[in-house]
Amino acid sequence: MTEAVSRPTLEAVAARAGVSRATVSRVVNGGDGVREPLAERVRQAVEELGYVPNQAARSLVTKRHDAVAVVIAEPEARVFADPFFALQLRGISKELTAHDNQLVLLLTEGRADHARVARYLAGGHVDGALVFSLHLDDPLPGLIRKAGVPTVFGGRPDWSDGGPGPVYVDSDNRGGAREAVRHLVGLGRTRIAHITGVLDQTSAVDRLDGYRDVMGDADPRLVVESDFTPGGGERAMRELLDRCPDVDAVFAANDLTALGALRVLREHGRRVPDDVAVIGFDDVLPVAEQAEPPLTTVRQDIEEMGRLMARLLLRGRAGETPGAALAQASGAAPAEASGAGVVLPTTLIRRASA
């Protein structure tokens, strides 16, 4: 474990190049307004001394930090069982890196950590925040708003106040769910069940709504509440088989849930998709592809969601509207951009299970 050594300062570079600190500063920050002979001499001095600007000093005067906080408020261990979170982070990281911003990760383990996060955000350490995994009665959004930090949410928040709606990025959960269920209907299935996610998250509610859009008049016993985990999927599937032995299709709220359902179906000797067709949600590759049989599922571009969140935050900071940022967002075309929310499209990936 090496000792940190003291780094050269602007002053040192200036001395070496025979110019003033101001000139060095100009060159280091874009270089406009400095004539060529000088600029080159400065660059050389920077190189020779291995000068790296001291971010603390810079922030002190600019009030910018080139850093963004990513807040993951997931008390349950679910985030850690699901590559979802990692993919999202990867997208965020890519975008942030491209704009020379750092990613400060704030993980919370329950309410006790909320105050800490709020304090940090309020402390003006970062230029903005990206916030995930909000649940219905979560006090965090309120705290964050009070902190006065530009924020983009991952997933549609479920609250709304008088002011302008929160900026968020979401997948078209409802539309994706509809597509999945319609596919099942197209397969000739009539007893189509839905295993929900945790219903205090909007993603779960939206998927349930999508299911109902198509199956509005279905037997209510075909809907069973669950929690986005394989274990929950198993329990739900057992109950389903018990309540409705004639079920011939299952739309699970996510791939992990589908995995649990698949296992119980196998246990009970039901063949997939012959006896019961199964569709998941997410298309988390290692899960969906490795399932037995490989899972038909609703794909959402998780990495792109992360990237877009970061882009919105960065652009918004520059004074543009989310819409403008959105217009410039390459890659997946947003399905919808109502108010301050951006909703990415989903696509049905057909594999063997349905």
Q: How many helices (H) and strands (E) does the chain have?
A: 14, 12
Strands (E), the chain: 67-73, 102-108, 128-132, 151-154, 167-171, 192-195, 223-224, 249-252, 277-282, 296-299, 341-344, 347-349
Distance between CA 121 and CA 30 in Å, rounded? 29
Distance between CA 290 and CA 68 in Å, rounded? 35
Which of 1, 35, 318, 338 is close enough to bind DNA by CB under 7 A? 35
Closest by CA position to 207, among listed 181, 255, 251, 174: 174
Which of 43, 58, 90, 182 is close enough to bind DNA by CB under 7 A? 58
CA distances from 301 to 78, 87, 208, 343 (A): 19, 9, 20, 11
Interface with DNA (CB under 7 A), residue total 28
Closest by CA position to 181, among listed 250, 124, 242, 127: 250
What minimum distance in Å lies between the beta carbon of 341 and a second copy?
Answer: 12
Radius of gyration of the chain (CA): 25
What minimum distance in Å lies between the beta carbon of 140 and DNA?
Answer: 25
What minimum distance in Å lies between the beta carbon of 255 and a second copy?
Answer: 11
Which of 44, 48, 62, 352 is close enough to bind DNA by CB under 7 A? 62
- Nearest CB to a second copy, comparing residues 213 and 294: 294
- Nearest CB to DNA, comparing residues 27 and 258: 27
Segment near DNA (CB under 7 A); pick from 21-29, 94-102, 300-308, 314-322: 21-29
Torsion of CA 121, 124, 129, 133, to 10 degrees: 0
Residue 342 near which of DNA, a second copy, none (CB within 5-8 Å, type-dependent)? none
53 in contact with DNA (CB under 7 A): yes
34 in contact with DNA (CB under 7 A): yes
What minimum distance in Å lies between the beta carbon of 32 and DNA?
Answer: 7
- Nearest CB to a second copy, comparing residues 114 and 183: 114
61 in contact with DNA (CB under 7 A): yes
Residue 149 near which of a second copy, DNA, none (CB within 5-8 Å, type-dependent)? a second copy
Closest by CA position to 284, among listed 249, 259, 260, 251: 259
44 in contact with DNA (CB under 7 A): no
Query: How does DSSP classify residue 35?
Result: -
Site residues for DNA per CB under 7 A = 6, 9-11, 18-23, 25-26, 28-29, 33-35, 37-39, 51, 53-54, 57-58, 60-62
